[in-house]
Amino acid sequence: MMNYRPVKAFINFEALKSNLKQVRAFAPKSKILAVIKANGYGHGMTRVAEQLSMADAFGVASIDEAIKLRHKGFLHRILLLEGLFCESEFALVIQHRLDFVIHSEHQLDWLMRLNHSQPLNVWVKIDTGMHRLGFLPEHFPKVIKKLQTLKVQPNIITMSHFASAGESTAFTLEQLDCFNSLTQGMNGAKSLANSAAIQNLPAAHFDWVRPGIMLYGAGDLSTGQQLSPLKPVMTLKTEVTSLKWIEAGESVGYGQTWKATKKSFVGVLAVGYGDGYPRHAVSGTPVLVAGKRVPLIGRVSMDMITVDLTDLADSVQIGDEAILWGEGLPVDEVAKHASTIAYELLCGVTARVPIIEVRAS
């Protein structure tokens, strides 16, 4: 069946490849572990992996994502970013030659019990202050000693994760100090930087950088001063499907949250929270209609949103293109208006939205 509903997510392959090159430019001495968990941040994991095949490794959240990549023929190193969720996953980890994180004692116990014959790539995670995953600094040396008693010596990569790489410099530097003092003199590879630190903190680049959001051209560090070299990969588009004038004092949408202060031209766009457009987007959230910024008005519905097109009343027509985010309208800006982050919007595009792959013309 054809789907004539106009909402579509366009995925720009050139932008993906260009963003990977930007990661290399930011961290020229580091290997790149491209993070493609959560279905490639909503862009389609395999599609993204194909475009990023020049990366040195991939990072995923679960073993099924990793196995899917192996089945598609990817021979890259693939890291399970949260490690194993249960001991029985080890059979598949070994069969598919996966790298894995160990962040807690129970995972260490599973590994120590494992009777394996080939060397494993074990990423040992230190909790340098985020207090989510990772061994506490005081336990870390013991963990390393224990790993060194394995029959087959593992290849140990030491890693940690920043809590506020995009915001708090002081705390980020504390985490970096902690990481440096614990790993000083260790031979193995080290990894610390996510997208924000790749762009902000060269001292955190080490052997492996782990870019996620920047590969997708988002995660604006919102200094606004310099133009980001990153290009938006996803552009979410739809069309104008209804136009009408309403009088001053009349309201629009569920709950009548927006009232016209003057005679207003209201446009309906075919996109809603059923597509992943955030229901929390407030009146005033920017939308591009026929290339011009207009404000969202009223509540976001499941399949529709309403916009104030009074300023475009002379020219706008049914079927005109509307961009919800992407080229010309940063997803970070839309996310702010919905009290969230670009990550959530990109991951949240729902399965009913067709993906259109845009290759170089």
Ligand X SMILES: *Cc1c(COP(=O)(O)O)cnc(C)c1O
Contact window for ligand X (CB under 6 A) among 44-52, 169-177, 205-213, 300-308: 205-213
SS3 25: helix
Segment 2-61, which members bind ligand X (CB under 6 A)?
35, 37
* Closest distance to ligand X from the beta carbon of 102 (Å): 13
List the alpha helices (DSSP H) in the chain.
13-26, 37-41, 45-51, 63-71, 90-95, 105-113, 140-147, 169-183, 195-200, 331-337, 342-347
* Under rule CB under 6 A, residue 83 binds ligand X: no
Are 193 and 175 contacting, i.e. CB atoms less than 8 angstroms apart?
A: no
Contacts with ligand X by CB under 6 A: the residue count is 11
Contact window for ligand X (CB under 6 A) among 113-121, 170-178, 211-219, 285-293: 211-219
* Under rule CB under 6 A, residue 272 binds ligand X: no
Q: Is 132 assigned to a binding site?
A: yes
Q: Is 5 assigned to a binding site?
A: no
* Antiparallel, parallel or unpaired: β 57-60 and 77-80: parallel
Active site (annotated) includes residue 17? no
* Antiparallel, parallel or unpaired: β 234-246 and 264-269: antiparallel
Closest to 122 in 3D by CA, of 103, 142, 141, 95 = 103
* Closest distance to ligand X from the beta carbon of 267 (Å): 34
Q: Taking each helix axis from N to C terminus, what angle separates 140-147 and 105-113, rounded to the nearest 10 degrees?
A: 10
* Under rule CB under 6 A, residue 81 binds ligand X: yes
* Under rule CB under 6 A, residue 213 binds ligand X: yes
Q: Give just the sign of the alpha carbon dihedral 171, 174, 178, 179.
A: positive
Active site (annotated) includes residue 37? yes
* Under rule CB under 6 A, residue 232 binds ligand X: no
Torsion of CA 217, 219, 221, 227, to 10 degrees: 20
* Under rule CB under 6 A, residue 161 binds ligand X: yes
- Which residue among 21, 29, 72, 254 is the active-site one? 254
- Which residue among 37, 125, 190, 237 is the active-site one? 37
SS3 68: helix
* Under rule CB under 6 A, residue 93 binds ligand X: no
The site for ligand X (CB under 6 A) is made up of 35, 37, 81, 161, 194-195, 210-214
Which amino acids are annotated catalytic?
37, 254
